[in-house]
């Protein structure tokens, strides 16, 4: 490493972000590279985006964070949804701007898993990945997620039916393998200072 200080990456609740940052997120969500990996791939209007943000307010089952790089630049989104206190489980997802790579996805995944099993005290974390996105399936596997199912021909993308991978990670598996994961990506984690604002 060059000794450069880590990049400060803030995960800020979307409701606490400025209107300009919220609009920048909508523009990012409408980026073709992002839309291809999502269930819903239509162009999101300003009014639809505003209604979605409004619907998040007061919803304890969903926590949505804008990823802010270097203080203010919108670099992506991280969400924890379907939070189920009784069963202590949740789903999660994230996306990043195409130019916001360089290991940021791995650093965010590590930080998010720590948040879910630490701060939130949950026992199970789930996610879904489209069949057309095998790189993300492999990435989650490096963080100890296991494939728990595959639904064939489950969604329509570009007029074609494709399947969906169902992945899951338990707190027990994370505790057992966390140090090995951290050791493997220590260099990447050193590039970023992830600050999650609850």
Q: What is the domain partition of the chain in residue ranges? A: 7-196
Give first-to-last CA distance, the chain, whole Å.
Answer: 31
- The residue among 58, 77, 168, 188 whose CA lies nearest residue 117 is 168
What pLDDT tens digit does each residue of the chain (198 aa) get? Answer: 457 889 999 999 999 999 999 999 999 999 988 888 888 878 999 999 999 999 998 899 999 999 999 877 999 999 999 999 999 999 999 999 988 878 999 999 999 999 999 999 999 999 999 998 999 999 999 999 999 999 999 888 888 899 999 999 999 999 999 999 999 999 999 999 999 997
- The residue among 137, 64, 56 whose CA lies nearest residue 94 is 64
- Superfamily per CATH, domain 7-196: Gcn5-related N-acetyltransferase (GNAT) (3.40.630.30)
Tell me the C-alpha distance between 190 and 107, whole Å: 9
């Amino acid at each position: 490493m060059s000794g450069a200080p880590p990049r400060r990456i803030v995960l800020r609740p979307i409701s606490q972000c400025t209107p300009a940052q919220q609009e920048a997120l909508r523009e990012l969500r409408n980026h073709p590279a992002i839309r291809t990996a999502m269930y819903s791939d239509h162009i999101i209007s300003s009014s639809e985006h505003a209604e979605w943000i409004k619907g998040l307010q007061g919803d304890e089952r969903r926590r949505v964070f804008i990823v802010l790089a270097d203080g203010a630049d919108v670099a992506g989104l991280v969400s924890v949804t379907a939070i189920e206190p009784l069963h202590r489980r949740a789903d999660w997802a994230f996306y990043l701007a195409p130019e916001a790579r360089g290991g940021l996805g791995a650093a965010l995944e590590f930080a998010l898993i720590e948040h879910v099993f630490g701060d939130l005290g949950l026992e199970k974390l789930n996610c879904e990945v489209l069949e057309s996105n095998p790189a993300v399936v492999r990435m989650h596997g490096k963080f100890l997620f296991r494939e728990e199912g595959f639904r064939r021909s489950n969604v329509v993308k570009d007029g074609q039916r494709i399947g969906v991978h169902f992945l899951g990670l338990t707190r027990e598996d994370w505790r057992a393998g966390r140090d090995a994961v951290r050791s493997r990506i220590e260099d990447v984690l050193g590039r970023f200072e992830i600050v999650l604002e609850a």
